[in-house]
């Protein structure tokens, strides 16, 4: 026969509240009273709150006895409920025997260990500290001893090497313990609950770990013992170690997130002295390495330094962070208002060291705190600010930091050395240092690059020139960010950062276009629309892809009777190296980097040696946008040094390159020889443009000129050779020359200018040689081929060659300049002109002008090029894939396909 039970629950916490909810489901159980701890300020324990919701009497006692004697008023209130069984799910108070024996059926108590081992208040901590192979809990009949009463039931689980105090509680002790408390009550009601006397064999009573003196970590022991001690106190309160600073002062820290470490001493790390440790500990990119007496290592991932939790790897970096102090009266008033907001949410008095989450806050409380702070202080905060600064004083400092930055322009500031560019009626501060790890720094060897203004051939500034050592530092920063802070940023948050960066680029587009014009010679209006405009478009386009990168489920053939689930994951590659050319400095950076970052990678970019300034100004904007340090790194330098170092580095897993075919071949060899890194190449071109007589001639002339002279001919998809049908050849040439004679050439900042200077002297000289070669081989130079007369700077006259034959150098090789190469063909011989168009090792782009749809689509079918333009030219879009065939390289920039260049596919198969 099952007894009807009148139960008194004595205890506290979520565990006790859940036991209460479970027992209320039983028809034979009436919970007649709940006895718990007093409120902390205005915040009551969850057990009391739950009991009140079910209209169960609640009693709150600060103490049950005084000087070892039960308080009469407490006993009277306990007896008033008439309980037949006491249930103690989780109880931190000492309950007198008058209460324990006050219920006719006695008292059952939950204890987190396999009794008799680990008696005492910190049993589960000692289960880990002692390195036990199993953990578990006991439900026993309380008596006048300390966890010594007869056993009712026990359960256990294998202790995993990855378990901590927190994890073993969440995965086993909590859920199984609640269910087992219900089972124990049922056994009592059924009269089947055993009373098994505890043996004293193997019995232990361990010290309480809530005492600070017991939390001190003994470093004079093997690594496994150090590891077990740290994980035994993980989550709370944390094992204590003492750091000895360089000046001899001591600072206590708490250690969290420990694991045994078998990779040996780090190659790169900084020594840190710990009191009681004979050898130095090492701060490295993975945390803090501590060597045990057995020569083995323990790695600690997180430290609590004062009230602030930090990554152990950031210990020395914090020395460089400027701490906020000397708060104004207004800021101190805001501190009081912030304290009131915290108190309203947490319902307890707020002190400097109040931890938001330790005080019981949940995810909805985070949202409420952020929104109330936005309303009260008009400051841009995100949920992440709460997680990174959960302690009140720490959160207040972050709030003040945000307020101060807001008054300076609403964005995070970054300091750098540079120069002020005074141009285009503007004064623009421009960085001239390397950028990695979130900071602008000088090159280690102090070497610099001379940056020449192509418009007047004058020295514009000197920019830091990265060495192999600088590239190594930048790659390590990217590697650390990829495996650290960047992994904590969700895909959607990544997209939001990219959109914020695009907005900043939009706000600064006139500055960026001005820098691009002065630094690379781009015509300002074109720089504004294309160089900068398409860069912004790229960041916004790929921002939309961040949370849409996904794999597939694949039907495979399982071995019956089992079933198999196979699916793929698209994952970021890691650290990506990017090497970009000088013709579109910011746009080429954005084409590659936006896809790279959207896919979840970090990157190191080596911009063109001759014009790195927009890349450096862009780096400044990434800080203001809030990108974590190390995600984006910019290392200007020479290709033979910095570029080679990026290609050779073993931590770089993908290289994206745009440049010449000979250099691309060298890059590909370096990628193979270093670590077989993934590689995508956008190389040279000799793009054919065929103009049939049946075309719209006005349109063909307009786009034909643009196909060659756009961006001064410094355009990878420029039409390197025009095939014009003989019936319109002369008229086409005549009208091209007419337009060229009226083209405005001059200062690229002048709004009426259509053609600016070539990028740099070496390229300018190469164009002169190219034209000389054409004349020597018999082509007809009908216009240009020389420097623009009476104009200082690298101004090259737009040039036209006719009567160009297939064997000539200028018919085969790319000029990468404003040189139109025209060959004639007969309209009846389409097969021949297609063969001539394909008779090149390049295959980047192509074009055709005709009103005949059959000719147009026939051309598209037969041409060997990655891009085909029909009755238009230079019409690219960030959503359309861009890349070439043959020796124009492989891989794609732009469009969805570009993401694949920066992703790897993992296949997962599960049998069930």
Among residues 44, 682, 714, 864, which one is catalytic?
Answer: 682
- Is 435 labelled a binding residue? no
First to last CA, the chain: 43
- Is 124 labelled a binding residue? no
- Is 639 labelled a binding residue? yes
- Is 147 labelled a binding residue? yes
- Is 352 labelled a binding residue? no
- Residue 428 gets the label, from left (phi > 0), alpha (psi -120 to 50) or beta, of beta
673, 667 in Cβ contact below 8 A?
Answer: no
- Is 325 labelled a binding residue? no
- Is 294 labelled a binding residue? no
Q: Could you give the count of Cα atoms lying within 13 Å of 703 in the half-sphere of its Cβ?
A: 22
- Is 607 labelled a binding residue? yes
- C-alpha 151/C-alpha 137 separation (Å) is 11
- Is 519 labelled a binding residue? no
60, 33 in Cβ contact below 8 A?
Answer: no
- C-alpha 821/C-alpha 713 separation (Å) is 12
Q: Using alpha carbons, select from 597, 363, 398 the residue that is nearest to residue 486.
A: 597
- Is 390 labelled a binding residue? no
- Is 95 labelled a binding residue? yes
- Indicate if 385 belongs to the active site: no
- Dihedral of CA atoms 466, 470, 472, 474 in degrees, nearest 10, equals -90
Helices in 449-508 by DSSP H: which ranges? 468-483, 491-507
- Structure tokens, 212: 């600070």
- Is 659 labelled a binding residue? yes
Beta bridge partners of 569: 906
Q: Which residues of 771-796 are buried (b: 16+ CB within 10 A; e: fewer)?
A: beebeeeebebbbbbebbeeeebbbb
> Which runs of E-coded beta strand occur in 497-617?
553-554, 564-572, 575-579, 602-606
Among residues 716, 729, 763, 901, which one is catalytic?
Answer: 716
- Is 68 labelled a binding residue? no
The values of phi and psi at residue 111, to 5°, are -140, 130
List CB contacts of 523: < 8 A, sequence separation 6 or more. Answer: 517, 711, 712, 748, 753, 754, 755, 756
- Is 644 labelled a binding residue? yes
- Structure tokens, 891: 């891989």
- Is 680 labelled a binding residue? no
Residue with tokens 């009373």: 195
- Is 44 labelled a binding residue? no
- Is 599 labelled a binding residue? no
815, 770 in Cβ contact below 8 A?
Answer: yes
- C-alpha 534/C-alpha 515 separation (Å) is 16
Q: Which residues of 203-212 are buried (b: 16+ CB within 10 A; e: fewer)?
A: eeebeebeee
Among residues 44, 109, 111, 284, which one is catalytic?
Answer: 111
The values of phi and psi at residue 892, to 5°, are -125, 140
- Which pairs with CB-CB distance under 8 Å and at least 24 residues apart come from 761-768? 761/452, 761/457, 761/794, 763/714, 763/794, 763/816, 763/817, 764/794, 764/796, 766/817, 767/796, 767/815, 767/817, 767/819, 768/796
- Indicate if 682 belongs to the active site: yes
Distance of CA 692 to the CA centre of its chain: 51
- Indicate if 786 belongs to the active site: no
- Is 320 labelled a binding residue? no
903, 598 in Cβ contact below 8 A?
Answer: no
Residue numbers belonging to the annotated binding site for (6R)-10-formyltetrahydrofolate: 93-95, 147
Q: Which residues are part of the catalytic machinery?
A: 111, 682, 716
Residue numbers belonging to the annotated binding site: 93-95, 147, 606-609, 639-644, 659-660, 766, 814-816
Residue numbers belonging to the annotated binding site for NADP(+): 606-609, 639-644, 659-660, 766, 814-816
């Amino acid at each position: 026969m099952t007894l009807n039970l009148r139960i008194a629950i004595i205890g506290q916490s979520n565990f006790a509240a859940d036991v209460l909810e479970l027992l209320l489901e039983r028809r034979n159980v009436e919970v007649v009273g709940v006895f718990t701890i007093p409120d902390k300020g205005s915040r009551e324990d969850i057990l009391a709150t739950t009991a009140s919701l079910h209209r169960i009497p609640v009693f709150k006692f600060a103490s049950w006895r005084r000087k070892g004697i039960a308080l009469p008023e407490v006993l009277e209130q306990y007896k008033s409920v008439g309980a037949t069984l006491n249930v103690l799910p989780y109880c931190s108070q000492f309950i007198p025997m008058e209460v324990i024996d006050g219920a006719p059926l006695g008292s059952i108590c939950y204890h987190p260990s396999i009794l008799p081992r680990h008696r005492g208040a910190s049993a589960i901590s000692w289960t880990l500290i002692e390195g036990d192979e199993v953990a578990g809990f006991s439900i026993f009949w309380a008596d006048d001893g300390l966890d010594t009463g007869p056993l009712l039931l026990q359960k256990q689980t294998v202790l995993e090497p990855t378990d901590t105090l927190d994890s073993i509680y969440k995965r086993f002790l909590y859920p199984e313990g609640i269910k087992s408390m219900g089972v124990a009550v049922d056994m009592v009601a059924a009269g089947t609950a055993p009373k098994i006397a505890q043996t004293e064999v193997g019995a232990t009573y361990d010290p309480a770990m809530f005492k600070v003196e017991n939390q001190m970590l003994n470093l004079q022991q093997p690594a496994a013992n150090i590891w077990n001690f740290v994980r035994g106190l993980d989550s709370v309160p944390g094992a204590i170690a003492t750091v000895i600073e360089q000046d001899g002062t001591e600072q206590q820290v708490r250690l969290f997130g420990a694991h045994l470490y078998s990779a040996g001493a780090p190659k790169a790390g900084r020594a840190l002295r710990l009191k009681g440790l004979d050898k130095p500990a090492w701060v490295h990119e993975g945390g803090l390495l501590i060597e045990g007496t057995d020569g083995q290592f323990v790695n600690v991932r997180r430290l609590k330094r004062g009230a602030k939790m930090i990554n152990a790897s950031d210990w020395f970096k914090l020395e460089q962070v400027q701490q906020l102090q000397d708060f104004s009266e207004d800021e101190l008033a805001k501190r009081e208002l912030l304290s009131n907001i915290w108190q309203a949410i947490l319902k307890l008095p707020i002190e400097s060291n109040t931890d938001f989450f330790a005080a019981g806050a949940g995810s909805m409380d985070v949202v409420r705190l952020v929104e109330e702070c936005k309303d009260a202080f008009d400051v841009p905060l995100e949920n992440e600010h709460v997680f990174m600064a959960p302690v009140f004083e720490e959160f207040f400092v972050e709030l003040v930091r945000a307020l101060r930055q807001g008054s300076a322009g609403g964005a995070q500031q970054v300091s750098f050395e540079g120069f002020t560019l005074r141009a285009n009626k503007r004064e623009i501060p421009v960085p001239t240092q390397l950028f990695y790890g979130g900071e602008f720094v000088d090159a280690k060897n102090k070497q610099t690059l001379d940056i020449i203004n192509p418009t007047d051939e004058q020295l514009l500034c000197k920019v830091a020139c990265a060495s192999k050592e600088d590239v190594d530092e930048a790659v390590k920063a990217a590697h650390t960010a990829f495996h650290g802070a960047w992994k904590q940023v969700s895909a959607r948050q990544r997209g939001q950062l990219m959109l914020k960066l695009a907005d900043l680029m939009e706000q600064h587009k006139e500055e960026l276009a001005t820098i691009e014009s002065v630094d690379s010679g781009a015509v300002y209006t074109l720089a504004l629309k294309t160089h900068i405009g398409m860069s912004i478009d790229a960041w916004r386009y790929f921002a939309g892809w961040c949370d849409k990168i996904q794999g597939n489920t694949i039907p495979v053939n399982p071995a019956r009777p089992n079933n198999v689930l196979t699916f793929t994951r698209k994952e970021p590659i890691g650290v990506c190296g990017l090497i970009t050319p000088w013709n579109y400095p910011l746009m080429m950076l954005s084409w590659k980097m936006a896809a790279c970052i959207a896919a979840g990678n970090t990157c190191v970019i080596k911009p063109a040696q001759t014009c790195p300034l927009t890349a450096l100004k862009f780096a400044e904007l990434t800080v203001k946008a809030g990108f974590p340090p190390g995600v984006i790194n910019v290392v200007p330098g020479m290709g033979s040094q910095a570029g080679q170092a990026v290609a050779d580095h073993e931590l770089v897993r993908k290289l994206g390159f745009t440049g010449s075919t000979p250099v691309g071949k060298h890059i590909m060899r370096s990628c193979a020889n270093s670590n077989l890194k993934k590689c995508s190449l956008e190389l040279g071109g000799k793009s054919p443009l065929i103009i049939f007589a049946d075309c719209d001639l006005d349109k063909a002339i307009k786009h034909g000129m643009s196909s060659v002279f756009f961006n001064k001919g410094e355009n990878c998809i420029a039409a390197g050779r025009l095939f014009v049908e003989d019936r319109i050849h002369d008229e086409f040439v005549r009208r091209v020359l007419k337009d060229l004679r009226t083209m405005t050439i001059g200062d690229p900042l002048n709004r009426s200018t259509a053609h600016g200077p070539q990028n740099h002297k070496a390229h300018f000289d190469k164009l002169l040689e190219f034209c000389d070669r054409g004349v020597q081989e018999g082509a007809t130079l009908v216009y240009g081929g020389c420097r623009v007369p009476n104009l200082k700077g690298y101004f090259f006259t737009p040039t036209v060659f006719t009567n160009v034959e297939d064997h000539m150098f200028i018919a085969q090789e790319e000029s990468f300049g404003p040189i139109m190469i025209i060959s004639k063909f007969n309209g009846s011989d389409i097969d021949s002109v297609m063969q001539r168009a394909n008779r090149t090792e390049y295959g980047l782009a192509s074009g055709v002008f005709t009103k005949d749809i059959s000719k147009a689509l026939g051309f598209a079918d037969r041409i060997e090029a990655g891009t085909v333009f029909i009755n238009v030219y230079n019409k690219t879009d960030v959503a359309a894939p861009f890349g070439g065939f043959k020796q124009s390289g492989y891989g794609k920039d732009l469009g969805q396909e570009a993401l694949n260049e920066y992703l790897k596919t993992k296949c997962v198969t599960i049998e069930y």
